[in-house]
Every structure is written in C-alpha cells, then in structure tokens.
Amino acid sequence: MKKTILITGAGTGIGRDAAFALAARGHRVLATTFSLAQADALRAEAASRNVVMEVHKLDITDAADRAQILDWPVDVLINNAGMGESGSLAEVDMERIRRVFEINVFATLALTQLALRGMIARGRGTVLFVSSIAGRLPMPFLMPYSMTKFALSAAAAGLREEMDQLGKGVQVAVIEPGAIHTGFNQQMSDSKYAWMDEKSYFYGQMAAMKAKEKRTFAFLEARSTDSIVAKIVQASEAARPRLRYVAPWAQGVMVRLARIFGV
C-alpha cells in the first residue's frame, strides 16, 4: 500500500537517502528540510534524478512551520531531524544542553503531537523516532546528545504502549542507527572544541581526545546509509512495526552485548 510519508531533516544524510528510497518505492514523500536553501537543493536533486518528491522547509523548532503538518494526510511521520552536541557533563554550558534537547526531544515531540491528531482521527498511522545506539549506551563526552537519544528511545517505547491502549491503529517505533559516515559525528565531536579552553577540566587531554575520536569514528562508521535506510523503509511499510530497528547489524550486536555485560 502506498503511503504519504513525511520525513524531517531530509536535506542531508540519512533523511535525504531515506526520502529517495521511499519515493523510489512509490510512496508520496513529503521531504522536509531545516532551511530554504536545503529545500531548493533537494528539489533540484530530485528533478535531476527524475524522482517525484514534495519538498518543504520545516524547521521543527518553529511553531508555524510545524503547523503545516495539519494540512497533510500523513500516514507515516519519520522524526529524523536532529543535532549533535558534545563535551563533559561536568562543565558543558547548560544552554547547550537545553538547545539540543529543544531540537531532538521537545520540538520532535511537539511535531509528533500534531501528526497524531490526524492519525488518531483517521484511525491509522505510524510514528518513527530516529534515535541512536547512543540512546541505549551512555557515550562519555557525547552525553548532551546521548541523553536526548535516551529520552527519545524511552519516549517511543512509552508512546507505543499508550497508542496500543488507545486502540486507534497508531503504530510507534524507534530507529537506532549505529555510527554512519554522514559528517554528523565529526560535527558533534568537534562542537566541544569551540568552547573548551584552558579553564576546561580536560584541557590537558584535548589533543589525545581529538586523536582518539578520529580513530574511533574512522573504525566504527559505516560508509553508507543503506543498512539504516532499509530499516526505515521496513518500519514505514510494516502494518505492525517492531518496537526497535537497529543497523548496521554488527553495531546492534555490540550494543546488546555491552548492555548485557554492563561495560
């Protein structure tokens, strides 16, 4: 069955690739982007690839932008938009933590509530939250981000039970990507070096930290978004999605083992 699927943060990375994959499967895709410039670029790319896709600017932190969703009969909402933020919880500015929660959690939930109105009224719909394996395992020095993804993974599980109890046919699932090379991780890791200075507890360790992060992501990151995009497609099309979809596979296994053995 072809569905109307709205995806946020579709101007780049996983969101963009998922939008093209879903459009190729014949769905009506509403690909929404953070900025107008991203919307223009995505429209041009879709046209050059002969792909039919509707592109709109939707900054999820902007209430007027969010309200657009009330005009569209959305069958599947894919909450993909997100930002990264890093640094030690011992010293990172609280405003930075508030900002990342505002985007990754509060704005995501506000958009979801609007989408749910239509879904509940129509008696069908699916909400997907793109969380992270950082929402299952605490990631030191990435905790401002990791905490938001713990919140999202928990929100998905709780909302899923609430929607089951309501019995209006609304499905909820969480997508948990492992490390994937989109530029997101590098931007997130580097964000702390914009403010860490000689006053930081970790100032003396900065060079070693930078080198370790570079090595870790070079080792861990999948080079392509294919595995996680396949999970997003699977969850979007399922009549009864599973609670959790994780990819790449090996990183999913690693997280399970780490949770079992408490490392």
Ligand X SMILES: NC(=O)c1ccc[n+]([C@@H]2O[C@H](COP(=O)([O-])OP(=O)(O)OC[C@H]3O[C@@H](n4cnc5c(N)ncnc54)[C@H](OP(=O)(O)O)[C@@H]3O)[C@@H](O)[C@H]2O)c1
By CB under 6 A, what part of segment 127-146 binds ligand X?
A: 130, 132
Rank residues 15 and 241 by Cβ distance to ligand X and give the closer one. 15
Q: Which tokens is 165 given?
A: 């109890």
**Smallest gap from residue 168 Cβ to ligand X (A):** 27
Among 5, 6, 7, 14, binds ligand X (CB under 6 A): 14
Contact map string, positions 176 to 215, toward ligand X, x by CB under 6 A: -x-xx-x-xx------------------------------
Minimum distance of ligand X from residue 166's CB (angstroms): 26
Alpha carbons within 13 angstroms on the beta-carbon side of residue 110 total 19
By the 10 Å C-beta count (0-12 exposed, 13-18 middle, 19+ buried), 94 is classed as: exposed
- The CB-nearest residue to ligand X is 13
* Known active-site residue 145: yes
Query: How distant, in Å, are the alpha carbons of 5, 111, 121, 164 from that of 74?
Result: 6, 12, 12, 19
Number of residues near ligand X (by CB under 6 A): 25
* 248 touching ligand X, by CB under 6 A: no
Query: C-beta of 13: minimal distance to ligand X in Å?
Result: 2
Judged by CB under 6 A, the chain residues 72 through 101 that form the site for ligand X are 80-83
Instruction: Give the per-residue SS3 of 142-197.
Output: CHHHHHHHHHHHHHHHHHHHHHHHHCCCEEEEEEEECCECCCHHHHHHHHHHHCCC
**Cβ atoms of residues 85 and 145 within 8 Å:** yes
For ligand X, what does the binding mask look like between residues 24 and 63, x meaning CB under 6 A? ----------xx-----------------------xxx--
Strand-pair category, 125-130 with 170-177: parallel
In whole angstroms, the minimum distance from the beta carbon of 142 to ligand X comes to 10
251 touches ligand X (CB under 6 A):
no
Dist. CA 100–CA 86, nearest whole Å: 10
Tell me the C-alpha distance between 75 and 61, whole Å: 22
Q: Going edge to edge, which strands form the sheet with 125-130?
A: 54-57, 28-33, 4-7, 76-79, 125-130, 170-177, 244-247
Contact call for residue 103 and ligand X (CB under 6 A): yes
Residues acting as catalytic residues: 145
Interacting residues with ligand X (CB under 6 A): 8-9, 11-15, 34-35, 59-61, 80-83, 103, 130, 132, 177, 179-180, 182, 184-185
